[in-house]
Structure formats: C-alpha cells, structure tokens
Amino acid sequence: MKIELERVAPMEIERRSFEIITEELPHPIDEALAPIIKRVIHTTADFDYADNLCFSEGVLDKALAAIREGALIVTDTTMAMSGINKKALASHGGEARCFIADPDVAERAAANGTTRAVAAMDKAAEIDRPLIFAIGNAPTALVRIYELIREGRLNPRLVIGVPVGFVNVVQSKELIMTADVPYIVARGRKGGSNVAAAICNALMYMLGR
C-alpha cells in the first residue's frame, strides 16, 4: 500500500487541521459556538464533542466580558493551567491559577476530610474578583462549586465543566447545569484537562490573539 503524505508548511498545519474538521463535521453547528467546538475537536480528534458540548444561554457574551474584565481562571489541575495561553489571558489583565498543590489546601482537606479539589474550590471562593472555573479532572470540584453557589458563597462568571471519568462525572455535570450560572459542559463521561484548557483558549482567541 502506498502512503501519501499531505505537503503542508509548518505554519499552515493548524489552519489545515481546522479545514479538515470543518469538512468532516457530522452535521452543521452553530457558527457562534464553532470556534469552541472546533478547537476542542482539534485538541482531542473526537467529533463526539460536536454533540456533547452544552452551552447555557448567552454564555459566550458573559464569558468574553469576564475575560475582558481580567478574570482569574481557576483550574483543578496544573495540567489544565499549563495548557492555558497565559500571554493571551494577561493581555486582558487576567491570570490562571491552580491551588491543588498549595500547602494550606492540603491542610484544609485533611482537617475537613475532603479531597484537595474540594478544598481548592473553597479557597477560590474566598477571592474577590471575576472568577472562571475550568474543571477538567475532578468531579468533586464541580460538585463543590455547585454547593458553594447554592450556599450563596460563590457567583462564578463561567463554569467550564468537563471532568473525565466514571465516578460521579456525569452527575456533577448535570448538577452544574442546574446551578443558574453560565456554563460550558461536556455532557457524559468525556472531557479532560486538555479540553478545559482548549475551551479557555478558544474564548481568548475569539477576543483576538
């Protein structure tokens, strides 16, 4: 069998990838949401996200406004934080943080008998600035965000709920979609830190690199 490679210049690989994604989409998608859906597919090579990604009403305007106001993006893993384009975020006065490895978070988790992900969300809830949560790994973090919202202790500008896995993953995503806050959720079991970062980056690229 003869294998033929596409001849694509290094600087054109991403553009060509998005052309292929557009050609192979299983069905038309909302043009306003396309930059996010396509970037997640680009990150994962998984076209299921054309159906799995769910968006609350008006979420794009609300999310972009939060970024323009210098939002702090809180992640549940250092991997998600590492994948976020810090330069693009800083250009709007924002930053990305992950508290999971902070000593005070470990102490709080041990004292309260919770996961560090839960303790990290408690710490984030104490910060007085626009908050975006990008959760790609820990459903316990997503559940805690839901609880903090219900308790009136947290009012996030956006929750990106894309934890991956099996235990309480589906349930945590369904909960956050009932919390009456702006959300972007990957319904079902699929997700990951790379997906959380990809959604953050897609939002920033919509504002201009």
Q: Does residue 92 have a pLDDT over 70? A: yes
Q: Where are the domains of the chain?
A: 52-206
| CATH 3.30.70.1140 for the 52-206 domain, yes or no | no
Task: Give pLDDT tens digits for 30-87.
Answer: 999 999 999 999 999 999 999 999 999 999 999 999 999 999 999 999 999 999 999 9
Q: How many CA atoms lie within 13 A of 148 on its CB side?
A: 21
- In angstroms, the CA 209 to CA 163 distance is 26
Q: Which two tokens stand for residue 53?
A: 């990604």
pLDDT value of position 208: 78
Cα separation, 168 vs 166, in Å, equals 6
Rounded Cα gap, residues 77 and 135, in angstroms: 8
Mean per-residue pLDDT for 114-118?
A: 96
Q: Is the pLDDT of residue 1 over 90?
A: no
d(CA 194, CA 115): 21
DSSP helix/strand/coil, 27? coil
Q: What percent of the chain has pLDDT over 90?
A: 93
Q: 132 forms bridges with which residues in the sheet?
A: 73, 158
pLDDT in tens, 121-150: 999 999 999 999 999 999 999 999 999 999
Question: Which residues, at least 6 apart from 131, have a Cβ–Cβ distance to it below 8 Å?
Answer: 71, 72, 74, 124, 154, 156, 157
Angle, vertex CA 54, rays to CA 39 and CA 82, nearest 5: 45
Catalytic residues, which ones?
42
The average confidence (pLDDT) of the chain is 96
Distance from chain centroid for Cα 186: 9
Closest CA to 65 of 40, 28, 26, 92: 92
Spatial separation of the C-alpha atoms in residues 188 and 72, rounded to whole Å? 27
Considering the entire predicted model, what is its pTM? 0.95
**Residue 71 has what DSSP assignment?**
P
